[in-house]
Amino acid sequence: MPETQSPAGEAIPPGRLASFAARAPWRRLPHPLRWLTVALIGGTFIVVGIALLVLPGPGIAFIVLGLAILATEFVWAETLLHRVKDGGKRGLQMTRSMVRGRRGTTATTATTTTPPDC
C-alpha cells in the first residue's frame, strides 16, 4: 500500500489510524495554534503526572501520555518518548528475568536450634 500525503504535504504511513490522522480536524489548524494547543495539553498531562507521583494515582501513565501528546508536534518529545519506552521494556525484561530466576531456586529455610530446657 503506498504512502499517502496529509493536507500539509507530509508523508503518512498506510493504515486506518494514519488515514484518520490525515483528516483529523486539528491538522487543519494553523501551525502556531496547533503547536500551542499541543504544548498546553501535553504539558498539563505531564504536570498532573508529576503531581500524581507523590499523590495517589497513575503518575507514570500521565507522564507517558503527556509525552505522547507532545510527540505529535515536537521531535524532542518523540525522542524522549522512545527513550522512556525503551527503558520501560528493559525494566520489564529485567523484572521477568529476576522472577524466573527466583522460580528456579528453592527457598532455603533457616534451621533453628531450640535451646535446651533449663
Contact between residue 83 and residue 90 where contact means Cβ atoms under 8 Å apart: no
The CA distance from 81 to 87, in Å, is 10
pTM, rounded to two decimals? 0.61
8 A C-beta contact, residue 52 and residue 66: no
Q: Are the beta carbons of 61 and 49 closer than 8 angstroms?
A: yes
pLDDT at position 24 is 67
pLDDT of residue 32: 83
Which regions of the chain are under pLDDT 70?
1-24, 26, 104-116, 118
Q: Which amino acid is at 64?
A: V
What's residue 21's pLDDT?
60
